[in-house]
Amino acid sequence: MVCSVARLYAQWSVGAITIGIGILTALLVLPLFWWMCTNVIVGVASILLLLVCETIYVVMPALRLGILLYPQDFVFALLALAAVLRFLTVRTVRDIPKALIVLFVLLFMNFAIGVVRFGTMAGVEFRPYFYTIVGTLYVMSFPAKSDTYRRLFHAWIIASLLVCGVACYRWGMIALGLESYAWMDTTGIEGRVINSGQALVLTIAVVATLFGLLQGTVAKGWVTVLPVLLVVIVGSQQRTVWVTTAASVILVFALAGRGRGRILVTLGIVGTLGLAVLYPLATGGHLDTAASSIQTTAAAGLSTRSGTFVGRMAAWKEHIKDFSSWNPLYQVVGKQFGGGYSVWIGTQEFGNAPHDYYIQTMLRAGLLGVGALVATYGFLLFRLFSTAGPMEGAAKVLWVSVAVEMIYSITYSPQFAQSILYGAALAIATQVPKSSQPAGQPSKT
C-alpha cells in the first residue's frame, strides 16, 4: 500500500513538474514571439546572439529528441512562425521576387522528397537552407526604415566586436600555452580561431562602419573599431574573407562619391592606429609565430599544386562531371536532400558539401534553382544601386554586402547571420521606389 502511494505520488510529481516547466516555457516564449512579430530588431538581436554563442561554443549544445535539436532550431522556428504570421497579415507572398519563390519551392520540394527517401539526413542537409530562408523572409516582412536599419547595423557592429573579443581571448590563451582553455576547434592551422562565416561578419561590420562614418550615422570615435576588425580578419587566416574584405573596401570607395577623400582619411587613420598597436609587438618578436602562420596560409592559397583550394577545385570538377550524367529532370530541378555530396578523386572519397554555394544549390535545386539564385542576386544589386533618398545609405551598405556575399559563395555557403542582410536587402528592393538617379551620386533631396 505504501509503495503504491509512493509510486502514485512520484507520478503526480513528475506530471506537475512537466506541466510547470511547460507553463514557464510558455510564459517566456510567448512574449519573445510577440516581440519578434512586432519588432525586427528583437529577431535580429536573437540571430546575432546565436552567432556570438556559436563563436564561443564552436558546436552549440543540443537536445536529443530522436534527432539533435540545437538552439538555432528553436529560435528559427519562432522566426518562421513570426514570418508566416506577418506574411498572412502585413505582407503577401506576391511581395517576394518570383525568382526567389522558384528557388524556395524547389528546395522545399526536394527536402520533402528527401525526408521520405533518406529520413533525418535530409533535415541535416536542409538545415542551413532553412535558416537562410527563414531569416531572409522574417527580416523582409518588416518595413524598410532608415532608423530601423541604423539600429540593425549598430547591433551588427556590436556583435562583431564580441566575436573579436572571443578571437582575442583565444589568441591570448594560445600565447600563454593554455590552449585547453581556448574552447576552439583546431583546424590544423595555428592561430585560426574563428570560422569563415564569423570572419565574414566582421567584413560586413567594416562596410557598415565606413559608411556610418561617411554619413554621420555613427560617432567619429567608432573609427577605432576598424583597426580591431581588420586585425582580427587578417589573423583569422580565412583567405576567402581576405579577398572579400579587400573587395568591400574597394567597393565602398567606389560608391563613396564626393566622400572618397574622407574614406582615404579614415583608412589613413586606421592604418596609423593599427601600426601604433602592432609595431611594438612586431619589434618585440611577439608576432613572429602569427606572422609565420599567416604567411604559410597565404602561400597555400596561391599554390596551384597543393592546399585546400586545389582540393576543392578538384571536387568541384567531379561534382559538375557527376551532375552532367544525371537525367534531364534532375538536372533541371535537382536531387533530394539527404543523399550526401560524396565524390571520388582518385582513390579518396570526399563526403563534405561542395564548398561552393552555387554548385551546392545546383545539386539540390538544379539549373532552374541556381539560375533563380543568380537572378535574385542581380535583382538585388540593380534595385539597391538605384535607391536614393532616406534609404540610400542603407542601400549602399547592403549593395556592397550582397556583392561580397556573391564572392564569398564561391567557396562557402552562407551562414544564418547573413540571412539578416538578404532580408534587409529584399525589404528595400521590394518596398522603396526605384530612383532614376544611380547610387553614388549626390541626392537632390
Burial class from Cβ neighbours inside 10 Å (0-12, 13-18, 19+) for residue 371 reads: middle
How much is the pTM? Answer: 0.86
Q: Is the pLDDT of residue 349 over 80?
A: no
Rounded mean pLDDT of 178-195?
72
pLDDT of residue 443: 39
pLDDT of residue 54: 93
pLDDT of residue 208: 95
Burial class from Cβ neighbours inside 10 Å (0-12, 13-18, 19+) for residue 127 reads: middle
Look at the block and give the residue holding cell 564561443: 56
Domain boundaries, the chain: 40-431
Rounded mean pLDDT of 85-108?
94
Which runs of consecutive H residues, i.e. helices, occur in 284-356? 288-302, 308-324, 328-333
Whole-number Cα distances in Å, 294 to 186, 234, 332, 410? 16, 8, 42, 22
Q: Which amino acid is at 74?
A: F
| pLDDT tier at 282, thresholds 50, 70, 90 | low
Better-scored residue on pLDDT, 104 or 444:
104
- 33-74 pLDDT per residue, tens: 999 999 999 999 999 999 999 999 888 888 887 778 899 999
Q: Is the pLDDT of residue 243 over 50?
A: yes
pLDDT of residue 147: 94
